[in-house]
Structure 1
Amino acid sequence: MNRRTLLQSAAAFLGVSTVGCTTTVAVRSGKNRYYEGPVTDHFDGVRFFNPDGSPPKGFRDLLRWRMGEDPTEWPAEVPVLTVRPERRVDDLTVTMVGHATMLVQTRGLNILTDPWWSERASPVSFAGPKRVTKPGISFEDLPPIDLILLSHCHYDHMDLATLTRLKAEHDPLVITPLGNDTIIQSTGLRTEVLDWGQSTNFGQLGIHCTPCHHWGARGVSDRSMALWGTFVLTGPGGSVVFIGDTGFDQGRPYRDLPAQFGPIRAELLPIGAYDPRWFMADQHQNPDEAVQGFLLSKAAYAVGHHWGTIQLTNEGRNDPRFALEEALEAHNVAQNRFRALEAGEFWAIPSI
């Protein structure tokens, strides 16, 4: 990926615009277009924030990054062996679709995380990050989808075209943090919104929203106007944790999970889009930090996602997988407990 393409890709996630070779820094608005509510320890009345955390980087840092080291070249395409999942699963199986999109099948329910089947993760169809792997499950081969967990509003996690297709074919419920329901309103999907610390129920599962260290934006003036979060699914057999994106943040997204939710059977954790560290550390953990979080939360197993599908940062396509193997060895964790799944791979998670 050349510098200009990666600059445009990154700008979409920073809330700045480089369209037409000009650059516009995000304008601070006095009103939140997505959410209205009381001031809290993570909402100032206009924007959400990470308590005692770091704000998103600005345009000068973006330029410093892009004028620095060249990104590692990715292949234009990587072959994928697609799978057709079972219609229903009683226990727990996770199938990788690609990036942060996974099919979680448990207790007879079919759940998608941050669904994205489009060619690009971008506000436009002709530019921006383009997938190098096809989805590991063809859209037509999806089983009936009951629920979508939507972690935040960045384009590689919230794809309105895919959400519209899911509404037409499956009509699932979407559970998402505050403000994101406004953004997806045009899809017609049913939504339920949660703040950090709030919970709801779906079938046999409890679904809880907890903090992680990230942010969100869809354009040049809406930075952090919709909340981001972690989802914890509780039910018989142990909890399942899904984090779409997070910085390690001294381990705070992880360290309270065991006391709150008991034994954690599986975590779905991001391991990619982390280089260079000075720019990415606040919003994207690296594989070593993902392993540290895995250990802090005392989980039995983990799936590494957010790698190998689209190039957002400098590291090579396979670097997160290799770095994860090294981190597991360094922390004396068995390789079969934390797997970086390729698109089309599935894992029947062992019981605990």
Structure 2
Amino acid sequence: MGSQGKSYDGPPSDHFDGRLFFDPDGVPPKSLRDVLRWQFGGDRQREIWPKWVPSPHADTPPQRVNGDKVRLSFVGHASWLIQTSGKNILVDPVWSERASPVRWAGPKRVNDPGIDFSALPPIDVALVSHGHYDHLDIATLSKLAAKFSPRIVTPLGNDATMRRANSALRAEAFDWHQSVELGGGLAATLVPTRHWSARGLFDRNRALWASFVLKTPAGKIYVVCDSGYGEGKHFRRVRETHGPLRLAILPIGAYEPRWFMQDQHMNPADAVKALADCGAERALAHHHGTFQLTDEAIDAPVKALHAALDEAKIPHERFVALKPGQVVEIQ
């Protein structure tokens, strides 16, 4: 199941012990025993999602967006198309029907991608945050490679996973705090995030995970693809090191039950605290409403986000949850 080969061979560091990656400010992933307790424990309360919840929106993006404007199109779950400075960038592109190592089982989409694959403009770069199947989708990356041959920027070790699956994938691996020039004056810096990575049962943390700070002509965009909150250190450090931030893209879904998920996924209240910590002018929500990975209802994240914003006395328009196919522009 999944990729079991060695992913990375490099010198030890403050987050790599020579074999496994780790977060000095995080915690190890849950044990198999905890997984079984969650899945089969008698106290599990799982909300059943509808089989199909189509978005009323669909985007046909332009071929290019030039100048200082940044156009962000929400594809669904954690996938985005970001267009600016004549460059087209995809974040964690997943167009597959399932977020799973197999086609016949696993979390299944409940809505179409907000952009039909045939409507994509020429893709220059794909940013892939880590190896979980709802973020690193070999089938989609292979389709992108065949059609556009984009650069793929990813944390250490994930490049080996990609190349083992398809040698045509132009994967480039980087460590936390490294900055990558993307052309057109754009750059992506990989920053620590409170999470973990695996493709199978026996390769936990053999590859690194990251969030991205994207430098654009309209300001810096902080893209958090997956993260727990912890004590908020990761978000405050990004503010201190990379601020000011024009926009944050923050996950709000896949958070129940909290005893299992809190160290790896934020709930909406955590995401509102993360917005305050990172200091971004505004935020867009993602990681909700497309694949059921955990136990909360499909509409629970957005309802809880609105409640958390009200509690924090933050206007709803400062932190918006889009539906697939919706677009936001900043300049």
How far, CA to CA, are the matches of 2:272 and 2:223 in structure 1? 15
How far, CA to CA, are the matches of 2:84 and 2:314 in structure 1? 26
Counterpart of 1:131 in 2: which secondary structure? Answer: coil
How far, CA to CA, are the matches of 2:269 and 2:65 in structure 1? 32
How far, CA to CA, are the matches of 2:244 and 2:64 in structure 1? 24
Deviates more, 1:328-337 or 1:268-277: 328-337
Q: Measure how far apart 1:335 and its partner are.
A: 0.8
Q: Measure how far apart 1:332 and its partner are.
A: 1.5
Which residue of structure 1 aligns with residue 63 of structure 2?
87
Asked whether 1:237 is paired with 2:218, we answer yes
* Residues 169-214 of structure 1: per-residue CA shift (max 9 Å, x gap): 1111111000000011133121221101111211111211110011
Which residue of structure 1 aligns with residue 124 of structure 2?
146
* Percent pairwise identity: 48
Does structure 2 conserve the Cα–Cα contact (< 8 Å) formed by 1:238 and 1:262? no
Which residue of structure 1 aligns with residue 17 of structure 2?
44
Asked whether 1:164 is paired with 2:142, we answer yes
- CA RMSD across the alignment: 1.6
How far, CA to CA, are the matches of 2:85 and 2:237 in structure 1? 25
Does structure 2 conserve the Cα–Cα contact (< 8 Å) formed by 1:234 and 1:261? no
Which residue of structure 2 aligns with residue 104 of structure 1?
82
Asked whether 1:261 is paired with 2:261, we answer no
* Residues 253-286 of structure 1: per-residue CA shift (max 9 Å, x gap): 2102222223211111111000111100000011
User: Post-superposition, which runs of at least 4 consecutive aligned residues in structure 1 deviate over 4 A?
Assistant: none
Deviates more, 1:204-213 or 1:182-191: 182-191
How far, CA to CA, are the matches of 1:343 and 1:57 in structure 2? 31
Q: Measure how far apart 1:154 and its partner are.
A: 0.3
How far, CA to CA, are the matches of 2:147 and 2:267 in structure 1? 36
Which residue of structure 2 aligns with residue 114 of structure 1?
92
Q: Measure how far apart 1:346 and its partner are.
A: 1.0
Within 5 Å, give how 1:255-334 maps onto structure 2. Answer: 255-334=236-315
| Runs of 5+ consecutive residues of structure 2 not aligned to the other structure | none
Q: Which amino acid aligns with 2:326?
A: E
Q: Which amino acid aligns with 1:106?
A: T
Within 5 Å, give how 1:36-75 maps onto structure 2. Answer: 36-66=9-39, 67=41, 68-75=43-50
How far, CA to CA, are the matches of 1:200 and 1:343 in structure 2? 28
Q: Measure how far apart 1:311 and its partner are.
A: 0.5
Q: Measure how far apart 1:347 and its partner are.
A: 1.1
Does structure 1 conserve the Cα–Cα contact (< 8 Å) formed by 2:84 and 2:216? no
* TM-score of the pair, normalised by structure 1: 0.89
Counterpart of 1:174 in 2: which secondary structure? Answer: strand
Q: Measure how far apart 1:236 and its partner are.
A: 2.6
How many pairs were matched up?
Answer: 323
| Runs of 5+ consecutive residues of structure 1 not aligned to the other structure | 1-11, 16-28
How far, CA to CA, are the matches of 1:304 and 1:52 in structure 2? 24
* Residues 25-58 of structure 1: per-residue CA shift (max 9 Å, x gap): xxxx9xx701001111111111101114211111
* Residues 290-312 of structure 1: per-residue CA shift (max 9 Å, x gap): 11111111101111110000101
How far, CA to CA, are the matches of 1:278 and 1:327 in structure 2? 20
How far, CA to CA, are the matches of 2:211 and 2:25 in structure 1? 18
Which residue of structure 1 aligns with residue 53 of structure 2?
78
Q: Measure how far apart 1:94 and its partner are.
A: 1.2
Does structure 2 conserve the Cα–Cα contact (< 8 Å) formed by 1:176 and 1:191? yes
Counterpart of 1:44 in 2: which secondary structure? Answer: coil
